[in-house]
Structures are given as structure tokens and as C-alpha cells.
Chains A and B, each alone.
Chain A
Amino acid sequence: MQRSLNIDPGKCTGCRQCEMACSYENEKVFNPSKSRIRVFTFDAEARFVPYTCTQCAEAWCMRACPVDAIRINLGTGAKEIHNDVCVGCKVCTIACPFGTVNYNADTGKVMKCDLCEGDPACAKACPTAAITYVDANWTGLDKMRMWAAKTDSAMTAN
């Protein structure tokens, strides 16, 4: 059964443990600016929204890649960047309509959430269960998927 990151902004306190866990997992340093997940803060609305790749079915990033550097991990369903192949052309960063692929100038490669091979560090670090890793069919990802569908420039079957 494939699982997905389920994000419940209502539970998020904005502490950024997820950002630190993510950056450490991927970069071996505590550096929120290198995190694949980011918490957005809306002060006046008193809302904290963790945000990252939903591993969308459309896989815009993967299809935009000119060198086959983004591939699906068949175990997790994650679209993973293969750093040894990525040339840093950044086309995936503009192709992803969710804004969840970022260019890292330090490495000359792009970066995105890869679900940590099925054991996401952000979910483990979240103290309030605002980020959980759950059965993909069960999650509240529907809202994000609906949003994805709105952006999907292709699939208006008729």
C-alpha cells in the first residue's frame, strides 16, 4: 500500500522541526533554507501551513526533465531527483505548478521531497502530528489534488 504525506495545517504550531529534520536528512546540516518542506506563516490569520510536494500523478517535474534525472521510486511512488544525472537546467522548477521543486545553487542541482525512501523525516519530527505519513487512499490530500486538477492543463476528457 503506498503512503502519502498528510498535512493538517490546523495542527501546525509553526515550530519548523520538520524543516530542520528535512535539511538534516538531505544535507547533513540544520538549515531550513535547504528543506524540501517549508512552513508558511500567515500572522494575521493565525495559520501555519507546512507545504511540500504531493508526489502528484501528473509528475510535471519528471516529464519536464530533459535528462531522465527524475524518476519514480516504485516502492514509495515518490518522484526522486537523481543527483548524479541532474544537470541543473531548472526546467522542472518552472514546470511544477505547485512550486515545490527548488534549485540549490550550492550544488547546482534541483531538490524536492523524495519521501525519505518511505520514512519521511519531517513526519517523524513533527511534534503535533500536523504531518503524518499515511495510507494514500485515506488522506486529506483530496484538497491538494483538487487544486492539482485545476492546474492540470491536459486532462479535460470529453
Chain B
Amino acid sequence: MGWAGKILRVNLTAGTVKSEPLNMEWAQRYLGSRGLGTKYLMEEIDPRVDPLSPDNKLLFATGPLTGTMASTGGRYTVITKGALTGAIACSNSGGFFGNELKNAGWDMIIVEGRAASPVYLHVENQTARLLPADDLWGTSVWHTEEAIKAKHHDPQIRIASIGVAGEKGVKYACVVNDLHRAAGRSGVGTVMGSKNLKAIAVRGTLGVRIKDFDAFFRATEAAKAVLAGNAVTGQGLPAYGTQVLMNVINESGAMPTRNHRDIQFEGAHKISAEAMAEKRPTDGKANLARNGACFGCTIACGRISQIDRTHFSVKDKPQYWGASGGLEYEAAWALGSNTGVDDLEALTYANFICNEQGMDPISFGATVSAAMELFEIGAITTRETGGIELRFGSAEALVKLAELTGKGEGFGAEIGLGSRLLTAKYGHPDLHMGVKGQEFPAYDSRGIQGMGLTYATSNRGACHLRSYTVASEILGIPEKTDPLATDGKAGLVKAFQDATAAFDSAGICIFTSFAWTLQDVAPQVDAACEGDWTVEKMLEVGERIWNLERQFNLAAGLTAKDDTLPKRLLKEAAKTGPATGRVNDLGKMLPEYYALRGWSPDGVPSNETLARLAL
């Protein structure tokens, strides 16, 4: 109950598929999705493996609440060793794929090996087949979804696939499902591409069962009421999406701009949620068509946008005239303020291309911004860029590079390296704005100190979704802390990290945590699943997962030296806004964090800690 109890193991090298029972003992200790998937990965691969070798594995894991009436219960996680980072990767996605997989009777798919030629996996309930994908290879996510649905004569099939970016080895390729929802970060799509696996297509009609419906209904109803009554999840996110943050973060002086040289963007108001809702003079329509929900989500933060048909990016391309996944805050920031581009339509187009070809708009935008800085200092010229005038603020350059990178062509192939390899290649590794090879998201840690510790210690490389202390430091959730202070941030980060791991592993969306605490989540899990799922157990599971991920990274060869930030954030003071004069004081927070975690000063979990967590 809650869990389907089954794993689908797919060996691409041998071309075999088989069903296995889920390890229920592990399920009690790692819950599902992120946690349980990581446990399987840890048990099954050598963490030192080359991420793109056949020995790496790729897991698609649902959680026990996936496919239930729990709000946001439609999520799945892709777990692997990240192509971008060489660290543990677990990228979470919404949409409808996760529910379909669960409804087909699977908790998880484990993909092993590498196919000799392109294939896709077709799952229809308990039947799974590997089918040739030669005709899909070289085509986009959007084409792949349409073609597979048509081929199997079923418009209700749900598909997770890679675009050309994943095929061509773009280091931050995503797995995209339902046209515009993505397991976005760390290059999980790159790993999928290296396996010659184009797509997983699922149709599930078996249903999802839970332990105690009456208790479950009470718990989920109560929790939905909490979401509806909360200002962020009940009003802000449905109306404005995550883009509600654009002006807030900019005013807080924590908006990385032009590869983090600046901390506020003068064009923020042109690319904000408010701008998306404004009617365009050209066609009288707003960029934002409406909001949309992922499976089971009662928040519905998703943006669905339409590009101005007269805009230079699409005026001769009617295939982009329809509505599709619009700008979320991180994408608007990465493609916009971080490149200095304030053309909303161009950003929307670049975002469409990221969805269509399957690449992470955060890493893509951040790599473009690093390239723009390289161009500005003369480290690269139009000779390298193939004639592109790669200047900050150039919408044309952004659009062109989105097209090229999505297909791994021209200078796009170099943008596809990610900013760490690109900046190193041209002799300026300090211009890589990220941690463990993964580019920062949209919060400058000089203006939000806790996010510096969040980024430095994030197991999957720089990430806001591992401990979103922005909630506390800016929005006051669950309680307001000073974004410029470092005191108490170690504890705050640890608490967010552990709770987030538990949320992620349940199969729900982390955005619920704007309103929910584990007090809201535990009763839902408890009513769905066997076992006594108290808040304490959820927290313990969260902490166990965090430490397991840490163990993976240590075994992969990462050390405390990798728990750091770029020199720019540690040495170059913010020039404007409330954080003027500040750098990130990571050094004041990190030792305390290690101590709180029960790790050695070198960031290694102590034997006592491991014993306490039964690791």
C-alpha cells in the first residue's frame, strides 16, 4: 500500500526487462523516490564510475504518495551519477509521467547498461518492451512525444524523453516529460543519452492503493486546506508562479546579474510575473496564457505562455506560436538577468527551446552568461563563437545559442560543456559560477547568506531545492531570519535539508513546504503506507538520506574542498542594494554545519552519526 511493491529492471546492454519486488525493508528506511532511489544506486554502482559509462545506472523513482489524492502527489525523481557534476544526481519532476508510472504498477525503473543503438522503453502496465528508436533519434522532445503517442495509437501515453541536447552530450541535458516538465538538473538527460535511451513511454491503468482511505482522506483534505489558506501556495504561486520572486529578490539585492558581477538587475521589472501578465501592445495578449497544474496539484503554479507572433525569435516559426511551458523564476533569471537580457519574449522562446530539446535553462543561461563575460574580457571572440556577438544583454545571441546548444551545433557545443569546463577551457575557471560543477540558481548568496551554505553543501552541486532558506531569510517561512546574518544558518540549512529530503522522498512537491511542515506530510504518508510514519521518523529518514548522499559523494572522490563557493562570492563585495559591501561568509557557517551534522572537520560523517542513522 502506498508503494506498488515492484521495480522494473531494464538492462539496455542485454536488451532485457524484468520485474522485481521492491525491497520493503529499504522502503521503511528511505521512504521512496529520492531516498529509496539513492539507496538502490548506492548499493548497485561504484560511485567512482564514469557517469557516461554503461556502468552508471539511471533510476526513475516514484514515491508512496505519487498517484494518490495527496496534493502534488504526481512526482518522480531521476537518480544517477550526474554528468554535469560527478556527484549524486537526483532531479525531481512533476507533470503526469510519475503518476502514470505508478498507475502502471511500478515504484521504480532501474536502467542499466547501454543499448547498441537507440531504443525507447514502452511500458503498458505490467508489460515492458524495448523498441527501436532510430527514427526518434535526432528529434526533439516535442516530436518524440507526438510520434510515440501516434505510433502506439494512444494519446494518453505519458512520456519522459531526451531531446537532441541529451543525445549530443550537452552536460546539463534534462529528462523532459509532458512537453514541459523536467527532471532538470545535473545532466540526468545526458546520462540517459549516453545509454542510447531516447524515451520511456508509459500507460498505466492499474490504479494506486493506500492503507487507510478514511485516514488518508482526512489527512489530505486537511493538508489541502492548509495550502489553500496560505498566502504563497493559495494565492501567490497560482497567480504569479515562482516568478512572484523576481521583484522581491531583486529588491533584496540577491539577484545575480551578468554572471554574478552585479546583484540587482535593472531590467527585472520587464521580465517579472507582473510583466508576463501585462497585455502586449502588439497583439493585445499577455505572455502568460494561464496557470496549469501538475498531476494532483492544488497549487497550480505552472506557467503556460504564448510568444508574441511578431517577435523576431518566432515570426517565421509557427510551430512556436501555440502556448507551452512558460518562464518559471529560475529560468527567467538564468536566461534573463544573468545574461542581462530583458526581452521577455526572447526569454520565453529560449525557455521553449530548452523544453523542446531537453536542457536545463539554469545551467544553460548561466553558461551563456559565463561565455558573455569571457567574450567581454576577450578570452573568446567571434572566431570562437562562429560570428555571434556574445554581449551581455543581447537577446539575439541568447536565442541563437539556445537553438545551437539544443542541437549541440557550432558554438552551442561549447556552451553545452557547462560553465565549469567552458571557463577552464578558455583559462578563466574562476568565472564558473557554481558548486561541484553545477551552476547556481537565482539567489546570490551575498544577499542571502544561508544560501551560500546551502549551495556549498548541496549534495548535487549548487541548488536551491535542497534547502530553500530563501523561505525563511526573505519570505519569513516558517519564521523570518536576517538574510545578511550568518548566525543560526547552519542549523537552518540542516533542518531544511533533512525536511526537504523527506518531502522529496514522499513523492510530493517541495513547493508544498511553503505551507506544509512535516506535521502536515507525516499523517498523509502514515495513512498511505505501512509503518508508523511520525514526524520524527520522517525527519530521521530525511537525515539518513542526506548522509547517504554524502557518502556517495565521498566515495565518488569528492571532499570537503568541494564544499565551497567561487572566489567572486567569497571575495568580491556586492555593489548595490541591502547587501552592499558584503561577501558570503561561508567560512563562518561551514564548520558549525559539519559539527551539527555529526561530521568531522573534513566533512566526513562520524561513525557515531552513521551508527545513529543505521547507515
**Which residues from chain A sit less than 8 Å from chain B, CB to CB?**
13-17, 20-21, 23-24, 27-34, 43-46, 48, 125, 127-128
Q: Which of B261-280 contact A (CB under 8 A)?
A: none
In the bound complex, how far is the Cα of B209 from the Cα of A32, in angstroms?
A: 12
Contact present for B323 and A28 (CB under 8 Å): no
Contact present for A15 and B323 (CB under 8 Å): no
Residues of A within 8 A of B290 (CB): 46
Contact present for B323 and A34 (CB under 8 Å): no
A-B contact list, 30 entries, CB within 8 Å: A13-B238, A14-B293, A14-B300, A16-B99, A17-B69, A20-B296, A30-B67, A30-B68, A30-B69, A30-B207, A30-B209, A31-B205, A31-B207, A32-B99, A32-B103, A33-B204, A33-B205, A33-B207, A34-B205, A43-B322, A43-B323, A43-B324, A44-B322, A44-B323, A44-B324, A46-B290, A46-B323, A48-B292, A125-B69, A128-B300
SS of B interface (majority): loop
Residues of B within 8 A of A23 (CB): 207
Q: Would A45 and B323 be within 8 Å (CB), given that A13-B291, A20-B296 are in contact?
A: yes
Residues of B within 8 A of A30 (CB): 67-69, 103, 207-210
Residues of B within 8 A of A13 (CB): 238, 291-293, 297, 300, 302
Closest to B142 in A: A43
Interface membership of B289, Cβ < 8 A? yes
Residues of A within 8 A of B324 (CB): 43-44
Q: Would A46 and B103 be within 8 Å (CB), given that A20-B69, A30-B208 are in contact?
A: no
Contact present for A127 and B205 (CB under 8 Å): no
Closest to B205 in A: A33
In the bound complex, how far is the Cα of B67 from the Cα of A17, in angstroms?
A: 10
Total interface residues on B, CB under 8 Å, equals: 38
Q: How far is the CB of A88 from chain B (nearest CB, A)?
A: 18
Q: How far is the CB of B22 from chain A (nearest CB, A)?
A: 18
Residue of A16, A17, A30, A34 with most chain B CB atoms under a 10 A cut-off: A30
Residue of A15, A27, A125, A128 with most chain B CB atoms under a 10 A cut-off: A15
In the bound complex, how far is the Cα of B205 from the Cα of A27, in angstroms?
A: 12
Interface membership of B31, Cβ < 8 A? no
In the bound complex, how far is the Cα of B302 from the Cα of A46, in angstroms?
A: 11
In the bound complex, how far is the Cα of B96 from the Cα of A20, in angstroms?
A: 13
Q: How far is the CB of B398 from chain A (nearest CB, A)?
A: 24
In the bound complex, how far is the Cα of B73 from the Cα of A21, in angstroms?
A: 13
B400-416: CB near A (< 8 Å → 1, else 0) gives 00000000000000000
Contact present for A127 and B304 (CB under 8 Å): no
B284-328: CB near A (< 8 Å → 1, else 0) gives 000001111111111010101010000000000000001110000
Interface membership of B390, Cβ < 8 A? no
Contact present for B68 and A20 (CB under 8 Å): yes
Contact present for B205 and A24 (CB under 8 Å): no
Interface membership of B14, Cβ < 8 A? no
Q: Which of B206-239 contact A (CB under 8 A)?
A: 206-210, 213, 224, 228, 238
Interface membership of B179, Cβ < 8 A? yes
Residues of A within 8 A of B209 (CB): 29-30
Contact present for A15 and B293 (CB under 8 Å): yes
Which of A15, A24, A27 is in CB contact (< 8 Å) with B297?
Answer: A15
Contact present for A16 and B295 (CB under 8 Å): yes
